[in-house]
Amino acid sequence: MILSQQQIDFCMECGVCTGSCPISRVIPTFSPRQMIKRTLMDRDETVLQSRELWACLTCARCSSRCPVQIDFPDFARIHRELARKEGNLPQLSHHGTLQAIVQLQATGVKQKRTDWARDVGKFQASGDTFYFVGCAPYFDAVIKYGDTSLETAKSVLRLLNRMGVEPVMSDDERCCGHDALWSGNEELFRRLVSMNLEVIRGSGAKRVVFSCPEGYATYKYHVPKFFGDLPFEVLHTTEFFARELPGSGVAFRPAEDPGNGKVTYQDPCRLGRVAGIYEPPRDLLKMLPQVVFEEMGRNRENALCCGTSAWIECSNCSKTMQIERLEEARDVGASTLVTACPKCRIHLTCAQSNTDLNLNIVDLYSFLLTRME
């Protein structure tokens, strides 16, 4: 990562990043600006050995507000790659099980990724629209918090079928590579992406839709940097559904028991600040009769991160942020918190299990499906 002298000079006199960072609000010694300064002064040594390098959420709150457009998440990613070579590794969540699963996928192990879908809906081996399911089937094997992550994929497939779309789905799909990239393991990232590109090209797909924001952002922004322009369109399912549902003939019914019908929405970092997709999820929610939509105080580019990423460094700091976010939803009177990210749902549901809060934390696509005529 190369910074201009102007960026360096401005950075050393600023501090917007630190004031914006959710980690620095919980850990006062954490500062993106200070990490850059230490890198410039110490030629990386102290940063590469620091725990702060792994504490960063890469949530892009800092870079979205930086007056000189310094991409601090990319700074962290590059230095994590170097830190690994120095033996400085992240603390893995869930005993490293999910990382082990990804490593197995990269070996070319045979998978039964689509078995769950055979009794759910129709899909094809080739066609124009490829549905990239992501690692949701594996999340369910490791994590049990509330509704399963596989319900997201099931709901997306059913919604696509109701619109007349029978997507391509493949047993040969692998992890998108997001977690490997942001954990400083570029070699593993490249291996996974190469395998996925071969599968997608072989399907003849003209577009690939992702229901996971991390997979979407990875293929929209990061994969082209490493592999060049992609021969297919990359879409997030909220974009696709917001564009296609209104003219599809699909209708939604009012809630059977509206009760407290207030709904709020959690902006995932990768979908919001990284990709700038704010309105499509909200447009989908507003299609539902009798839904009263209420924004939390921090929304869109100012939304609070769900507290962790890449299944690393889940800490008391993470839990503090998650509970703060849940309380923010409660304080606007919402009874339902809708997410468009499987990890957001898992993290917030986990945090709520240790509180007396009683929010219904649901996946956007499952929420839509329950209201479909």
pLDDT at site 183: 96
pLDDT of 45 over the 90 cut = no
d(CA 252, CA 267): 23
Domain boundary residue, one of 245, 263, 280: 245
Domain contains 220: yes
Query: What percent of the chain is predicted at pLDDT more than 70?
Result: 97
Helix axes 342-352, 316-331, angle to 10 degrees: 90
Reduced to 3 states (helix: H, G, I; strand: E, B; else coil), residue 73 is helix
Domain membership of residue 315 as a residue range: 250-370
d(CA 131, CA 168): 6
Digit-coded pLDDT (tens) for 247-277: 888 999 887 665 567 999 999 999 999 999 9
pTM value? Answer: 0.94
Helices (H), 127-167: 136-142, 150-162
Note whether 115 and 240 are same-domain residues.
yes
Domain contains 90: no
Environment class of residue 255 by beta-carbon count within 10 Å: exposed (0-12), middle (13-18) or buried (19+)? Answer: middle
Domain contains 122: yes
pLDDT at site 146: 59
Phi, psi values for residue 124, rounded to 5°: -125, 170
Q: How many other C-beta atoms are found inside a 10 Å radius of the C-beta of residue 189? A: 26
Q: What is the CATH number of the domain that holds 336?
A: 3.40.50.1860
pLDDT of 123 over the 70 cut = yes
Output the average pLDDT for the chain: 92
Instruction: Provide the number of structural domains found in the chain.
Output: 3
Note whether 171 and 215 are same-domain residues.
yes
pLDDT at site 258: 55
pLDDT of 362 over the 70 cut = yes
Torsion region of 87: left, alpha or beta (phi above 0 gives left; psi -120 to 50 gives alpha): left
Domain contains 56: yes
Close Cβ partners of 21 (under 8 Å, ≥ 6 residues apart): 30, 31, 32, 61, 62
Note whether 161 and 138 are same-domain residues.
yes
Note whether 241 and 107 are same-domain residues.
yes
Q: Which of 311, 265, 366 is nearest to 135 (CA)?
A: 311
Note whether 236 and 265 are same-domain residues.
no
Distance of alpha carbon 124 from the chain centroid = 26
Digit-coded pLDDT (tens) for 288-341: 998 999 999 999 999 999 998 898 989 888 999 999 999 999 999 999 999 999
Domain boundary residue, one of 245, 267, 297: 245
Note whether 317 and 224 are same-domain residues.
no
Digit-coded pLDDT (tens) for 49-74: 888 899 999 999 999 999 999 999 99
Reduced to 3 states (helix: H, G, I; strand: E, B; else coil), residue 334 is coil
Reduced to 3 states (helix: H, G, I; strand: E, B; else coil), residue 312 is strand
d(CA 361, CA 355): 14
Note whether 239 and 109 are same-domain residues.
yes
Domain contains 49: yes
Among 140-149, 150-159, 190-199, 237-246, name the one with the lowest average pLDDT: 140-149
Note whether 104 and 236 are same-domain residues.
yes
More confident residue, 173 or 44: 173
Among 44-48, 99-103, 116-120, name the one with the lowest average pLDDT: 44-48
pLDDT at site 347: 94
Note whether 203 and 140 are same-domain residues.
yes
Note whether 358 and 271 are same-domain residues.
yes
pLDDT at site 256: 67
User: Token pair for residue 89?
Assistant: 């590794």
Domain boundary residue, one of 245, 265, 287: 245
pLDDT category of residue 9 using cuts at 50, 70 and 90: confident
Long-range contacts of 107-113 (CB under 8 A, 24+ apart): 108/195, 110/171, 111/171, 111/172, 111/173, 112/171, 113/137, 113/169, 113/170, 113/171, 113/172, 113/173
* Interval 23-47 mean pLDDT: 83
pLDDT at site 42: 67
Strand-strand pairing, 292-293 and 129-132: unpaired
User: Token pair for residue 50?
Assistant: 């620091």
Note whether 329 and 205 are same-domain residues.
no
* Interval 181-199 mean pLDDT: 97
Q: Catalogue the E-assigned strands of the chain.
A: 129-132, 207-210, 233-236, 262-266, 292-293, 336-339, 360-363
Note whether 100 and 176 are same-domain residues.
yes
Sign of torsion, CA 277 281 286 292? negative
